[in-house]
Amino acid sequence: MKKYKVGIIGVTGMVGQRFALLLADHPWFEVTAIAASPRSAGKTYKEAVGSRWAMTDPMPSALENMMVQDAVKDVDVISKAVDFVFCAVDMPKDEIKALEEAYAKAECPVMSNNSAHRYVDDIPMIIPELNPEHASIIEAQRKRLGTKRGFIAVKSNCSIQSYVPALHPLRDFGIKRVLACTYQAISGAGKTFERWPEMVDNLIPYIGGEEQKSEQEPLKVWGHIEDGKIVNCDSISITTQCLRVPVSNGHTAAVFVEFENKPDIDTIKERWAKFSGRPQELNLPSAPKQFLNYFEEPDRPQAKLDRELEGGMAVSIGRLREDTQYDYKFVCLSHNTLRGAAGGAVLMAELLCAEGWLD
Ligand SMILES: NC(=O)c1ccc[n+]([C@@H]2O[C@H](COP(=O)([O-])OP(=O)(O)OC[C@H]3O[C@@H](n4cnc5c(N)ncnc54)[C@H](OP(=O)(O)O)[C@@H]3O)[C@@H](O)[C@H]2O)c1
């Protein structure tokens, strides 16, 4: 199989560093361009990151001496040098929109981790096991953008990557109401404890914009395509509270759910055990063998013990039991910078490659 040349935009950041590691030995993708802000442009990757390297694994040697380009000024150069880019930048929303659209219009598809384009109705927001069919909206998007190859595909917010997959195989029981409280790691804010010492022994009950994303995005993932648009699911009501907790990696969610037709506990566990999607069917390189994993132990899943399950690409679930106000409650966990960010985007790109959208 040919290797696709890829760029990483925002390569110096928390998600960008994850991309660097995940793509270092990728069987299908080869990093040939890296970019960040003007602060980093013109430096080698090693110089640009300096003491900000936040991963436990060392920086890939192939990237250490690669020159960082300017994500905005070098759009044309980068677009010509790669087959597509991964993008994870911390910039004002309107600037991210302009940046991603510039790459798409330069015929360079964008696999985005940013939220700026998540609510555009011809831009697919893909969790590969859940809604791979949304890729077909790319045709309509290309028409709007006037491109032949270029398009933008986004992955959803990290907070929803644990509870939406857990609820997904239960949808035919008629999910009516969901309440989810999320307990989110500091890497989700691009931080480590060294760079955010206020988080040691602390909890902050506010993450700007997160509750809106956590309530709205599942409805797009569960939406359907009609007349060149993704129409959100309107039959499920979701409310959330999102808290920042002193955990390095791994977002946990405490979930309550009410159904129209309440299934029994064994049926739910069986649905989770048997669930697999297109990535497993296609045997994509980053696909977990078992996506949803139920733990019978009452004190699991735990962020520190379970976030790395299947390379950080699996979802861990536990504590399923009846509730006095909803039908059931349970707890779930996913790695926010792997499944929830860079890993989820790499899996989405593998899916889009396998289905011919990146040729
Ligand atoms: N962390 C997570 O778990 C997570 C999960 C899902 C989605 N996301 C999303 O992914 C994006 C990046 O998050 P992060 O946590 O990786 O942020 P981060 O660690 O703060 O990194 C931000 C990146 O953006 C670059 N950047 C900043 N200003 C720029 C500019 N004017 N032009 C070009 N590049 C610029 C930075 O480059 P310099 O180093 O040169 O400044 C850096 O590479 C955000 O949209 C975030 O919402 C993050």
167 CA → ligand 1 middle, Å = 29
Expressed in angstroms and rounded, the spacing between residue 303 Cα and the centre of ligand 1 is 23
Q: Which of 21, 34, 47, 90 most suits a substitution to test ligand 1, by most atoms within 8 Å of the C-beta?
A: 90
Nearest to 11 by CA among 79, 80, 60, 57: 60
CA dist 74 and 173 (Å) reads 50
Collect all residues with Cβ–Cβ distance below 8 Å to 265 and sequence separation of at least 6.
Answer: 320, 321, 322, 328
Tell me the backbone φ, ψ of residue 240, rounded to 5 degrees.
-140, 160
DSSP H helices in the chain? 14-24, 45-49, 61-64, 75-81, 93-105, 138-145, 163-167, 210-221, 265-274, 278-281, 303-306, 309-312, 343-354
Give, using CA atoms, the residue closest to atom 2 of ligand 1: 188
Among 26, 117, 134, 158, the active-site one is: 158
Global pTM value: 0.97
The one catalytic residue in 251, 332, 335, 353 is: 251
Mean per-residue pLDDT, 286-315? 98
Q: Which residues contact 8 (CB under 8 A, 6 or more apart)?
A: 16, 19, 20, 23, 31, 33, 34, 35, 85, 86, 88
Tell me the torsion sign for CA atoms 107, 111, 112, 116: positive
Looking at residue 185, its pLDDT comes to: 98
Please identify, by atom number, the ligand 1 atom nearest to the C-alpha of residue 39: 40
Q: Does residue 168 carry a catalytic annotation?
A: no
Confidence bin at 86 (pLDDT 50/70/90): very high
Residue nearest to ligand 1 atom 43, measured at CA: 10
Q: How confident is the model at residue 234 (pLDDT cuts 50, 70, 90)?
A: very high
All domains of the chain, ordered by start, with CATH?
Answer: 4-157+341-354 (3.40.50.720), 159-334 (3.30.360.10)
pLDDT 10s digits, 270-284: 999 999 999 999 999
236 touches 222 (CB < 8 A): yes
Residue 204 has what DSSP assignment?
B
Among protein residues, the one with the nearest Cα to ligand 1's atom 4 is 188
Distance from chain centroid for Cα 321: 28
- Whether 340 and 333 have beta carbons less than 8 Å apart is answered as no
User: How many whole angstroms separate alpha carbon 70 and alpha carbon 131?
Assistant: 33
Task: Compute, in angstroms, the gap from residue 16 CA to the centroid of ligand 1.
Answer: 7
Among protein residues, the one whose CA lies closest to atom 18 of ligand 1: 13
Show the tokens assigned to 227: 């007349």
**CA–CA separation, 101 vs 151, rounded Å?**
8
Residue 334 structure tokens:
């996913």
Contact between 110 and 83 (Cβ < 8 Å) = no
Query: For residue 233, how far is its CA from the centre of ligand 1 (angstroms)?
Result: 30
Please name the residue whose Cα sits nearest to atom 45 of ligand 1: 114
Ligand 1 site residues, Cβ closer than 6 angstroms: 10-16, 36-37, 39-40, 71-72, 88-91, 113-115, 158, 187-188, 190, 336-337, 340-341
Q: Are strands 328-334 and 315-322 parallel, antiparallel or unpaired?
A: antiparallel
Using only the alpha carbons of the chain, give its radius of gyration: 20
pLDDT, one tens digit per residue, over 244-272 is 999 999 999 999 999 999 999 999 999 99
Between the CA of 158 and the centroid of ligand 1 the distance, in Å, is 14
Q: Closest ligand 1 atom, CA of 68?
A: 40
- pLDDT tens per residue, range 181-207: 999 999 999 999 999 999 999 999 999
134 is catalytic: no
- Give residue 2's pLDDT: 78
Over range 208-222, report the average pLDDT: 97
- Express each pLDDT in 108-120 by its tens digit: 999 999 999 999 9
Per cent of the chain over pLDDT 70 is 100
At 186, list the tokens: 């500091």
Q: How far is the CA of 300 from the centre of ligand 1 (A)?
A: 31
